[in-house]
Copies of this chain bind each other. A is one copy, B any other.
Amino acid sequence: MVRVAIIGATGYTGLESIEIISRHPQAQVTYLTALPEECGHAEAIFGRLKGKCDMQIEPLDLNKLAKLADVALCCLPHKVSMGFVPKLLDAGVKVIDFSADYRIKDAKLYEKFYSVEHTDTANLEKAAYGLPELFRDEIKGKDLIANPGCYPTGFTLATAPLLKHDLIETDSIINNAVTGASGAGKNPSERFHFPNMNENFFAYGIGTHRHMPEMEQIASTVAGTSVNVLFQPHVGPFDRGILSTVYCQPKRDVTNDKLTKIYEEFYEAESFVQLCTESPSVKDVAGTNYCHVYVTHTKGKIIAFSAIDNLVKGASGQAVQNMNIIFGLDETLGLG
């Protein structure tokens, strides 16, 4: 039994992690922490947990953590996380970090997009980027996993076969993506107030979204050359899911049959990536760890589509997938 601590358990990814682990046959939640002012009984904080999680969410105590847990899912926000992760590692637990703090290998780039000095570059170097379909070997045996961002997960799974096979121009990729409103997190705001968000649809983060450098870094790693991504996110009036529609300029002629074959081979061994024969639908992957992908060629462009659940494959589910890997378990356990 893997003993799991959840650090920052009162947000949406904390709740999702608790729910996933509670169905996991070889893991259990043993310790829940949050900021002192947000602590309380888990079932009082989340109505969904009534009858399922008779535990207090407590302020973090590193000694308790060391005694109670083998791994910490660290659901803290960007910038905050890097203040805690070194302590969690020192307490002797493995860490899967949900923030962006250990994803961008280039600390300068991180600092540019997150407007803060990186205070834990030592661990930054050691962290593996936790996208198992592409970096499984680097994840194995690691103590610190940088769990990918939701948008970069959808983007990378949509385009990796194209990049790997050198099929597209790397300076003209456009990732037009749409997320459900849970991506905004738990704190109420004007934009996500129901009477504003319902029946609404809009773009945001134009030219500035922080997932852009993450996408470019991973895409460049996959392609083996520098990749430029124009990333334009939108929000729609639904809870869960990201649909990525990625427009690429092919380097050379390629048929749809050839594209399909490349994707089939690329993802043949992957449980969680499934190929579609038309546009994926976010509802088909909502609440699951699956990524549905479709690729086609039209009007001189290749369009690659992917759908994931931003809270599962885009956060807590992928974290559990990473946990399964670093503890030598079947990668799909608890994620059926």
Does chain B have a CB within 8 A of A280?
yes
Interface string of A197-220 (1 = CB under 8 A from B): 111111110110000000000000
**Which residues in B have their C-beta under 8 angstroms from that of A201?**
178, 180, 236, 238, 241, 243, 281-283, 307
A12 touches B195 (CB 8 A): yes
Residues of A within 8 A of B (CB): 12, 22-23, 25, 47-48, 50-52, 174, 176, 178, 180-182, 184, 186-190, 192-204, 206-207, 228, 230, 232, 234, 236-241, 243, 245, 247, 271-272, 274, 276, 278-288, 290, 292, 296, 298-301, 303, 305, 307, 336
Return the chain B residue nearest A43 by Cβ.
B274
| A/B interface sample: 8 pairs, CB < 8 A | A48-B288, A188-B188, A202-B282, A206-B279, A206-B303, A230-B247, A230-B299, A236-B237
CA distance A95 to B94 in the complex (A): 47
Count this chain's copies in the assembly: 4
Contact A197 B194, beta carbon cutoff 8 Å: yes
Q: Please name 7 further chain A to chain B contacts, defined as beta carbons within 8 Å, in addition to the given A48-B285, A194-B194, sorted by A numbering.
A: A12-B195, A25-B25, A47-B292, A51-B290, A198-B237, A199-B241, A201-B282
Give the chain B neighbours of A307 by CB distance below 8 A.
201-202
A305 to B202 CA separation, bound complex (whole angstroms)? 9
> Of all chain B residues, which has the CB nearest A25?
B25
On chain B, the residues within 8 Å of A180 by CB distance are: 199, 201
Q: What residues of chain B lie closer than 8 Å to A298, measured between beta carbons?
A: 206-207, 230
Contact status A194-B199, CB under 8 Å: no
